[in-house]
Amino acid sequence: MKYKGMDVISLRDLDRDFLDFLLKKTKEVKEGKWQNSCKGMIVASLFFEPSTRTKLSFDTAIAMTGASMIGFSSAATSSTAKGESLSDTIKTIDQYANIIVMRHSIEGAARRAAEVANAPVINAGDGANQHPTQTFLDLFTIYELKGGIENLKIGLMGDLRFGRTIHSLAMALSYYNVELYLISPSILQLPSYYIDYLDSKKIKYHITEDFTQIGKELDVLYCTRIQRERFADPVEYEKVAGSYEISTKNIDSLSKDTIILHPLPRVNEIHSSIDTDPRAKYFYQAKNGVYTRAALLGIIAGNIN
Amino acid sequence: MKYKGMDVISLRDLDRDFLDFLLKKTKEVKEGKWQNSCKGMIVASLFFEPSTRTKLSFDTAIAMTGASMIGFSSAATSSTAKGESLSDTIKTIDQYANIIVMRHSIEGAARRAAEVANAPVINAGDGANQHPTQTFLDLFTIYELKGGIENLKIGLMGDLRFGRTIHSLAMALSYYNVELYLISPSILQLPSYYIDYLDSKKIKYHITEDFTQIGKELDVLYCTRIQRERFADPVEYEKVAGSYEISTKNIDSLSKDTIILHPLPRVNEIHSSIDTDPRAKYFYQAKNGVYTRAALLGIIAGNIN
Amino acid sequence: MKYKGMDVISLRDLDRDFLDFLLKKTKEVKEGKWQNSCKGMIVASLFFEPSTRTKLSFDTAIAMTGASMIGFSSAATSSTAKGESLSDTIKTIDQYANIIVMRHSIEGAARRAAEVANAPVINAGDGANQHPTQTFLDLFTIYELKGGIENLKIGLMGDLRFGRTIHSLAMALSYYNVELYLISPSILQLPSYYIDYLDSKKIKYHITEDFTQIGKELDVLYCTRIQRERFADPVEYEKVAGSYEISTKNIDSLSKDTIILHPLPRVNEIHSSIDTDPRAKYFYQAKNGVYTRAALLGIIAGNIN
């Protein structure tokens, strides 16, 4: 019951105890335990910014818990489109719902909602800021497939500079004794803020531009997209892009046990011919999103403990 | 069973017996009675015109009754966008649903739907015309918080000329022995049609431009927005607007027992610093919308009696 | 269990055994049997192209089976709007759902989805191509109201050249020993491909431009719209259009037992004054869509057998 009614806004608010608890309970949910953990409850699924993937994942999780869902999938059909303040919209929906899940394009929107709502608020992404349940499902997939997180060697690849998913995952992994490989073009390296954070947590890390050199070392390779728009010079982009695309040409530089993860959607960074490779776990990872979110809902409801 | 299958289109079709019954049953629903009153039923929630607040309130009520919901939240995704007549759309959905809830921008649309559908139709707002469930929840909130409606002194404030909510509430209150304070700028006074109606019902009323003078008298102050566009001269608007905005400056002209209601959304007419005042009941009122609508659904289904 | 997990993409994949089975089971579902046939399952209802009628029919069917629904009603709120490939969208939703219902504007989209998804896929319309559940409900309505399909005389009227619904229904009827009346303006006759098909199945048919001449023969008159845009010369359109509009002027050229069907929406091809005629069964037909789809879901789930 410790986490009953808790808001889940940012990874910064959470500690290792919570993460360990969530991982364990997600496993139990996946094994069929804790059904109907939100039976009779109303969960509001408020997507002020569209996101099919995340919305359908949450909606599936809500159905799994036995709760009823209310909500919307774009701001165009919401009251805020008519000039109402976000606070008032949330205060009203707070009257209807037992738990509020929300995605918003503005950084800090979920925090603001949590301040005015009595119901617990789960941040399903606020602009370029936080998207904690993505990190939870990433972490759970590693935990489940590798039998734990301690002592793993994990590659984070792609746009480490701007990638929200990468930043959150790096912070979450820092609660554990892992060794990180930071794989990116030099202009898209992990910002010094996060490097300092890793240092402060005494996390061992390696900075490299080429995953093929260290692929055999990796337990996990977590890939993200490199956006062409990040490069002032398109020629520069073309020069590096290929090095961060996994295909039949380079996949064997990974070990046979390296799992490949990706937050999705992907464009070219993993070739579709890789999808049938047993190491490709990104769709499996998406499925874990449902279990992770169902577990989180039941924990916040106070019914999973 | 008296009201089983009844359409709820306009307050004009209803009588005091029905209102008394609905108020009593809403209270019972709020106390936890009559659960699953629409179990196994399909309720269509058809919002040809977007309205998050009302849609989510109905959707929550539908979930509370145990019914399944089908529907849409804007006409853009409805068949009428493809040129089908409203009658045919309704006749088709009538084949799917046991109860139809609908909001439409055109006055009379709900009445038309009720004519062609076998399923009972609940008007969730038709243009500037009727929105009966708003009135029901307003009435219930007064009834619940004041222990009844008879003999209350009720202030109706803001745009009394164009405000649909005000007109419907005034008519509903006329079934009871109340005393009304009609508080508005002179150009936004209650239309003579409604004044005549109050006279015909022998309702005592006072016309005033300043609530602070009579605030101590009031059991209830029901506020609505004054739209700038109603004034030909913006200077005229600026002169009066402040008098109809409740803030810490003037709230103490109300008695300590005056409850403040508002149909929401609000803009400036109630300052957000008032939200924590114990007399501010407008979000509580929004919550009552769920209970009122759940009771109405169960009554129409013939399962609450 | 024979049809458990089956994709339903095109009528061409199906045989008479399946149709007979579906008709029989739909009747049982309509009689109240096989409730909760998808209890605890998640059905994705993915409308990349809006279609209120079909979506609400499926959503009602999903609710009837006891399944939970996730999905969207237009591509604007879906991930493909952000540039994700359809395959990846489907592969992701495949992680969430037990059955996928999808409508898409592009021919072949449902087939493609079925190839990448593990969950069975039901085609709810792919462009001008296939819409098998429309044919199922058409067939069921004839079967139910006429006590079978063998030996019936069935008129197909309107745009036989471009009408997807007509093409599919003609193919489905060819599994039975029926006699067809193909009623259309000469420039909108059934394409030779389908004529050859009827020949190959030894189906007896008559080609005519005027239903009033043969109306007394018909057990069923299935009407579809003639679009003005099909005619190069608007004068040509005006000349023929009236002959394909059923109204009080010509309805008595039908026998008293001829049932009138239409896939809906209709515009002018059946005058609304006909709606109350006992032979008008097109809204009844729409209701049968719910039972047909509920039966199909239960069959695919492996729980109706």
> How many Å apart are CA B211 and CA C239, to the nearest integer?
69
Burial state string for C225-252 with b = 16 or more CB within 10 A and e = fewer than 16:
bbeeeebeeeeebeebbebbbbeeebbe
Cα Dmax for chain A: 57
Total residue length of chain B: 305
From chain C, the residues in CB contact with A229 under 8 A are: none
Averaged over B79-99, what is the pLDDT? 87
Q: What percent of chain B has pLDDT over 70?
A: 97
- B233 or A117: whose pLDDT is higher? A117
* Catalytic site includes residue B164: no
Alpha helix positions (H), B147-185:
164-173
> How many Å apart are CA B22 and CA A142, to the nearest integer?
55
Top CATH class, B133-286: alpha beta
Task: Answer whether A283 sits within 8 Å of C95, measured CB to CB.
Answer: yes
Q: Which amino acid is at A13?
A: D
C 77-106 near A (Cβ less than 8 A): 77-79, 81-84, 87-89, 91-97
Nearest to B131 by CA among B91, B158, B160, B104: B104
User: Dihedrals φ, ψ of C96, to 5°?
Assistant: -95, -35
Q: What percent of chain C has pLDDT over 90?
A: 87
Top CATH class, A11-130+287-300: alpha beta
Give the one of C64, C266, C290 whose C-beta lies nearest to B88's C-beta: C266
CA distances from A210 to A178, A221, B188, C109 (A): 20, 12, 72, 38
Other beta carbons within 10 Å of B146: 16
Domain with CATH 3.40.50.1370 in chain C: 11-130+289-300, 133-286
For residue range C9-29, what is the model confidence (pLDDT) as tens digits? 999 999 999 999 999 999 999
For residue range B52-71, what is the model confidence (pLDDT) as tens digits? 899 999 999 999 999 999 99
Specify the pLDDT at position A227.
Answer: 84
From chain A, the residues in CB contact with B284 under 8 A are: 95
Specify the pLDDT at position A237.
Answer: 84
Domain with CATH 3.40.50.1370 in chain A: 11-130+287-300, 133-286
Specify the pLDDT at position A82.
Answer: 60
> How many Å apart are CA C143 and CA A108, to the nearest integer?
59
> Residue C132 class from Cβ within 10 Å (0-12 exposed, 13-18 middle, 19+ buried)?
buried
For residue range B129-154, what is the model confidence (pLDDT) as tens digits? 889 999 999 999 999 999 999 999 99
ipTM: 0.94
Specify the pLDDT at position C78.
Answer: 57
Chain-centroid distance, C-alpha A174:
15
Average pLDDT, chain C: 94
> How many Å apart are CA C149 and CA C177, to the nearest integer?
8
Specify the pLDDT at position C248.
Answer: 95
Q: Which amino acid is at C200?
A: S
For residue A91, the surrounding DSSP H or E stretch is: helix A86-96
> How many Å apart are CA C67 and CA C267, to the nearest integer?
34
> How many Å apart are CA B85 and CA C53, to the nearest integer?
13
Chain B interface includes C213 (CB < 8 A): no
Q: Are A279 and A256 in contact (CB under 8 A)?
A: yes
Q: Which long-range contacts (CB under 8 A, 24 or more apart) does B129-133 make?
A: B129/B10, B129/B164, B130/B9, B130/B10, B130/B11, B130/B164, B130/B168, B131/B54, B131/B164, B131/B165, B131/B168, B132/B8, B132/B9, B132/B10, B132/B11, B132/B14, B132/B168, B133/B8, B133/B54, B133/B58, B133/B289, B133/B292, B133/B293, B133/B296
Place C82 in a pLDDT band, splitting at 50, 70 and 90. Answer: low
User: Is pLDDT at C294 greater than 70 in this prediction?
Assistant: yes
Averaged over C47-66, what is the pLDDT? 95
> How many Å apart are CA C166 and CA A279, to the nearest integer?
48
Place B77 in a pLDDT band, splitting at 50, 70 and 90. Answer: low
C 243-302 near B (Cβ less than 8 A): 264-267, 272, 275, 283-284, 286-287, 289-290
User: What angle is formed at CA C88 by the lines to CA C84 and CA C91, rounded to 5 degrees?
Assistant: 150
Q: What percent of chain C has pLDDT over 70?
A: 97
From chain B, the residues in CB contact with A77 under 8 A are: 50, 52, 73-74
Specify the pLDDT at position B198.
Answer: 97
Alpha helix positions (H), C32-84:
52-64
CA distances from A99 to A19, A90, A260, B284 (A): 20, 11, 33, 17
For residue range C189-222, what is the model confidence (pLDDT) as tens digits? 999 999 999 999 999 999 999 999 999 999 999 9
Among A30, A48, A49, A53, the residue to mutate for chain C (most C Cβ within 10 A)? A53
* Catalytic site includes residue A135: no
Burial state string for B192-221 with b = 16 or more CB within 10 A and e = fewer than 16:
eebbebbeeeebebeeeeebbebbeebbbb
For residue range B12-57, what is the model confidence (pLDDT) as tens digits? 999 999 999 999 999 999 999 999 999 999 999 999 999 989 999 9
Top CATH class, B11-130+289-300: alpha beta
From chain B, the residues in CB contact with C264 under 8 A are: 84, 88, 92
User: Is pLDDT at B81 greater than 70 in this prediction?
Assistant: no
Integer-rounded Cα radius of gyration of chain A: 19
Segments of chain A scoring below 50 in pLDDT: none
For residue range A84-95, what is the model confidence (pLDDT) as tens digits? 899 999 999 999
From chain B, the residues in CB contact with C51 under 8 A are: 79
Residues 6+ apart with CB under 8 A from A261: A138, A141, A142, A220, A221, A222, A223, A281, A282, A285
User: Is pLDDT at B82 greater than 80 in this prediction?
Assistant: no
* Catalytic site includes residue A53: yes
Specify the pLDDT at position A179.
Answer: 98
Name the token pair of A54: 């995340």
Average pLDDT, chain A: 94
Place of tokens 């024979």: C2
Among B80, B95, B115, the residue to mutate for chain C (most C Cβ within 10 A)? B95
Name the token pair of B212: 């602070």
